[in-house]
Amino acid sequence: MGQADWVVVPLDANASDEPLYFDDHAWRTIEAATARIIPTDRQPGAREARAVRFIDRMLAGTQFVYASADGSGFLRMDGLEEKAWLERVETRRALYDDGVVRLDELARSRFGQPFVSLREEEQDAVLEELGGPKPARYRLDGAEAGGTGGAPAGNQPMDEDLLDFFSLLVLNTRQGFYADPVYGGNAGGIGWRVIGFDGPETLRATTDGTYTTIDYLIVDAQWPYENDPRVTRAGWR
Amino acid sequence: MAELGHSTFPMPTGAVSRPYRGRQPFSENGFWQQYPDPGTGKSSTLITFIPDALATGRFELRTDCYVREVVVGRDGRATGVLYQDGAGNELLQEAKAVVVCGGGIETPRLLLLSRSAQFPDGLANGSGMVGRHATFHQYSFAIGLFDDEVSDPLYGFSGHYNNLASMDFYETDASRGHVLGSLIFPSMIGHPVNWSFPGRPSWGQASKDADRDFFNHSMKIGVLLHDLPVESNRVDLDPDVVDAWGLPVARITHTPHPNDYAQERWQVAKNGEILEAAGASRVIPVNMERITGNTSHELGTVRMGDDPATSVVDRWCRSHEVDNLYVFDASVFPTATGINPALTIMANSWRCSEHIVRYDARGWTD
Ligand SMILES: Cc1cc2nc3c(=O)[nH]c(=O)nc-3n(C[C@H](O)[C@H](O)[C@H](O)COP(=O)(O)OP(=O)(O)OC[C@H]3O[C@@H](n4cnc5c(N)ncnc54)[C@H](O)[C@@H]3O)c2cc1C
């Protein structure tokens, strides 16, 4: 069956803030780790965005994979399509299950307590054991070795299937901060606001045409745009 | 660009900008780049040619069908295709002619899968050229980061993915030390989930700061590499891995030609100079070593040519060996062209379809 014919199940990834896959301890451990990956500062971080819920829904099965275009629910996969996705989900579950155990082992051996009970600097030290030194502030004139964030995805989705636990956790936290809120993270568009992405209020707004970015455009500019004084004038906005 | 002495033009976009044949322009934002458009603005085949074809009453669309073999008769002509429908039924569709349009990877794979006593190395592959000369249009770019204390936000997310292009570097210029060139075009770096740049701090406060400082203060200028066809760059059948239907998957073997590296390095550096002139405080080259296989244009694997020894299909995209077998997709490109291929693929399909109707179909009997 083509995706257009898939049944829409009226599911809401945000219906509750309870885990569907994780047990309570894993939920709190991953939540704490996400909060160190995108920390809360003068603006909200991964904790407030509910990145842990995004990750939990991703691991819960195949029911939260394809949001319906209007955001009213999720497409019900079946057959080979679902089988292939389940393989992926199972690989990730194993990485997260082992990852939580590993975080606690490192936390206990270094600081004598489970990961969730550590202070923030201690949690960072545990994460550094998995992912290497915590990146320093990016400087426009600094050496390029600042961080391990790679090239943008370009025209392709990123391949998540070959990542180790820490890299997957970092990527999933980022997705839980920046993906559409329909998937369980980026609560209320928090992540988007932090970076100044004026995204759609709801997925529906992207399908009924009410989502607009017109305020950012010079609607009647004529080609060649670079001759238009409003385009070339620095600080037109 | 004008200041640097270069010309630009507005990039043609496959979308309607005013009502056209019942279609409505959808949105000024580029939100549906890489996704199906929920409206009727974007000119995908699904809302353009397919409805027209259905309206003739002479076209039937069978979705979710997976063709595993083009079958041939004793006379060596194609007699139809074997396929599985969405419910898993194996079916044989008889045909007077078969036009394969599976794309640059799946078309050679299907021909290679279609082995028989007459065609032991795959259908229409007597020359051994099926799957060879694969080109990919590696998409590389220079990224510019702008200092938010100096520059205003660029808001790259707000418009279409790209609006502007230049062909100034397309023709060979011997002084650059390589042949050929490509279209170049500026764009945003990506929507928030995909936004990144090499060297970006990946976690912690530094990561959040970098996202916040540069998301709206960054852009890139891309190169659609005009890569050279090399015989050993190829698609063939994987000896080990099978797909969900138990059939060998396509295996891709590829090493860029030295000219590809040279052309790409030069152009990415040039794009960086343009970004600097535009005020970027930092330019980051993203060469192909960093993004191996960033491509969405798979071309050249069932080459068109006059010589049956070095090509698979003739100038009308009919196979040299099987006179009622055609290939009408990106596989037939003899060279890559350094521009986006969709319009050329479509134009070529029209051209060759017309030729079938005018000439070849006359010989078909019921
Ligand atoms: C993200 C992205 C962005 C792009 N942007 C642009 C752009 O801006 N401009 C541009 O010009 N080009 C662009 N392209 C490239 C362009 O879309 C492709 O080059 C073009 O669609 C290829 O056409 P094709 O007919 O060769 O194959 P396709 O369009 O890939 O069609 C092949 C079809 O065959 C089907 N198929 C394959 N195998 C089988 C089988 N065994 N049985 C049954 N069906 C089968 C597939 O499902 C598919 O529908 C982009 C591509 C991508 C992926």
Q: Each residue of B220-230: pLDDT tens digit?
A: 999 999 999 99
Q: Which residues pair with B187 in a beta bridge?
A: B220
Residue A144: both structure tokens together? 């390029």
Q: Which residues pair with B282 in a beta bridge?
A: B145
Torsion from C-alpha of A180, A168, B192, B340, nearest 10 degrees: -110
**Residue A174: per-residue pLDDT:** 97
In a domain, A233, yes or no: no
* Cross-chain residue pair A194–B139, CB shorter than 8 Å: no
Cβ-contact A53, A173 below 8 angstroms: no
In a domain, A221, yes or no: no
Pairing of strands B98-100, B325-327: parallel
Residue nearest atom 4 in ligand 1 by C-alpha distance? B296
Number of helices (H), then strands (E), in chain B: 5, 13
Interface mutation target, options B62, B136, B203, B287, chain A, most CBs of A under 10 Å? B203
Count of domains forming chain A: 1
Residue B146: both structure tokens together? 């702008």
**Chain B nearest CA to A36, separation (Å):** 6
Using a CB–CB cutoff of 8 Å, tell me whether A202 touches chain B: no
The A residues from 56 to 95 touching B (CB cutoff 8 Å) are: 69-70, 80, 83-84
- Interval between CA A45 and ligand 1 midpoint (Å): 39
> Which of ligand 1's atoms lies nearest the C-alpha of B298?
19
ipTM score here?
Answer: 0.94
Residue B63: both structure tokens together? 């979705």
Verify cis geometry, omega within 30 degrees of 0, for the bond prior to A224.
yes
* Domain range for A20: 3-207
Q: Say how far residue A82 (Cα) sits from the centre of its chain.
A: 22
Taking only the tens place, the pLDDT of each residue in A111-160 is 999 999 999 999 999 999 999 999 999 999 877 655 667 777 665 556 78
Using a CB–CB cutoff of 8 Å, tell me whether A140 touches chain B: yes
Lowest mean pLDDT among A77-86, B264-273, B301-310: A77-86
Amino acid at A200: P
**Residue B312: per-residue pLDDT:** 98
Same domain membership, residue B265 and residue B313: no
Sign of the dihedral defined by the CA atoms of residues B292, B295, B301, B305, in that order:
negative
Same domain membership, residue B313 and residue B275: no
Name the average pLDDT for chain A.
Answer: 90
pLDDT tier at B24, thresholds 50, 70, 90: confident
Instruction: Count CB-CB contacts under 10 A for residue A80.
Output: 13
Instruction: Count CB-CB contacts under 10 A for residue A142.
Output: 12
| Closest by CA position to B250, among listed B148, B78, B102 | B102
- Interval between CA B309 and ligand 1 midpoint (Å): 28
Amino acid at A34: T
Non-local (6+) Cβ contacts of A160 within 8 A are A168, A171, A172
Distance CA B350, CA B331 (A): 16
- DSSP, collapsed to helix, strand or coil, labels residue B201 as coil
- DSSP, collapsed to helix, strand or coil, labels residue A207 as helix
Same domain membership, residue B275 and residue B174: yes
Same domain membership, residue B268 and residue B176: yes
In a domain, B52, yes or no: no
Same domain membership, residue B117 and residue B198: no
Rounded to the nearest 10 degrees, what angle do helices A165-178 and A79-111 cross at? 110
Asked whether B314 lines ligand 1 (CB < 6 A), one says: no
The A residues from 6 to 35 touching B (CB cutoff 8 Å) are: none
Check residue B39 and report its DSSP letter.
Answer: S
Does pLDDT of A61 surpass 80?
A: yes
Cβ-contact B134, B252 below 8 angstroms: yes
Same domain membership, residue B271 and residue B143: yes
- DSSP, collapsed to helix, strand or coil, labels residue B65 as coil
Same domain membership, residue B262 and residue B202: yes
Phi–psi pair at B306, nearest 5 degrees: -85, -25
Distance CA B107, CA A200 (A): 39
In a domain, B57, yes or no: no
Using a CB–CB cutoff of 8 Å, tell me whether A162 touches chain B: no
In a domain, B34, yes or no: no
* Domain range for B161: 139-228+256-286
Taking only the tens place, the pLDDT of each residue in A2-30 is 677 789 999 999 999 999 999 999 999 99
* Cross-chain residue pair A135–B147, CB shorter than 8 Å: no
Same domain membership, residue B87 and residue B184: no
Same domain membership, residue B322 and residue B218: no
Pairing of strands B248-253, B98-100: unpaired
Kind and range of the H or E element at B102? none
Share of chain A above pLDDT 70, in %: 91
Sign of the dihedral defined by the CA atoms of residues A190, A192, A198, A199, in that order:
negative
CATH at residue B71 = 3.50.50.60
* Cross-chain residue pair B206–A138, CB shorter than 8 Å: yes
Domain boundary among the residues B247, B264, B286 is at B286
Where on the phi/psi map is residue B129: left (φ > 0), alpha (ψ -120 to 50), or beta?
alpha
| Closest by CA position to B216, among listed B246, B186, B195, B185 | B195
Distance CA B113, CA B123 (A): 8
Residue A197: both structure tokens together? 């992405």
Asked whether A155 lines ligand 1 (CB < 6 A), one says: yes
Distance CA A98, CA B255 (A): 37
> Which of ligand 1's atoms lies nearest the C-alpha of B328?
25
* Cross-chain residue pair A212–B151, CB shorter than 8 Å: no
Cβ-contact B353, B338 below 8 angstroms: no
Same domain membership, residue B314 and residue B193: no
Kind and range of the H or E element at A15? none
Non-local (6+) Cβ contacts of B178 within 8 A are B259, B262, B263, B266
Same domain membership, residue B269 and residue B148: yes
* Cross-chain residue pair B29–A213, CB shorter than 8 Å: yes
Q: Which of B249, B297, B304, B332 to mutate to test the pocket of ligand 1 (most atoms within 8 A of CB)?
A: B297
**Chain A nearest CA to B254, separation (Å):** 18
- Interval between CA B103 and ligand 1 midpoint (Å): 6
Interface mutation target, options A41, A68, A197, A228, chain B, most CBs of B under 10 Å? A197
- Interval between CA B330 and ligand 1 midpoint (Å): 8
Taking only the tens place, the pLDDT of each residue in B159-203 is 888 889 999 999 999 999 999 999 999 999 989 998 999 999 999
Where on the phi/psi map is residue A75: left (φ > 0), alpha (ψ -120 to 50), or beta?
beta
Residues of A within 8 A of B42 (CB-CB) are none
Cβ-contact B72, B116 below 8 angstroms: yes
Distance CA B147, CA B215 (A): 11
In a domain, A218, yes or no: no
- DSSP, collapsed to helix, strand or coil, labels residue A93 as helix
Using a CB–CB cutoff of 8 Å, tell me whether A155 touches chain B: yes
In a domain, B44, yes or no: no
Asked whether B110 lines ligand 1 (CB < 6 A), one says: yes
Distance CA A3, CA A6 (A): 5
Count of domains forming chain B: 2
Residues of A within 8 A of B163 (CB-CB) are 225
* Cross-chain residue pair B294–A141, CB shorter than 8 Å: no
In a domain, A195, yes or no: yes
The reported pTM is: 0.93
Same domain membership, residue B150 and residue B116: no
* Cross-chain residue pair A149–B296, CB shorter than 8 Å: no
Taking only the tens place, the pLDDT of each residue in A178-211 is 999 999 999 999 999 999 999 999 988 888 888 8
Asked whether B329 lines ligand 1 (CB < 6 A), one says: yes
Residues of A within 8 A of B164 (CB-CB) are 225
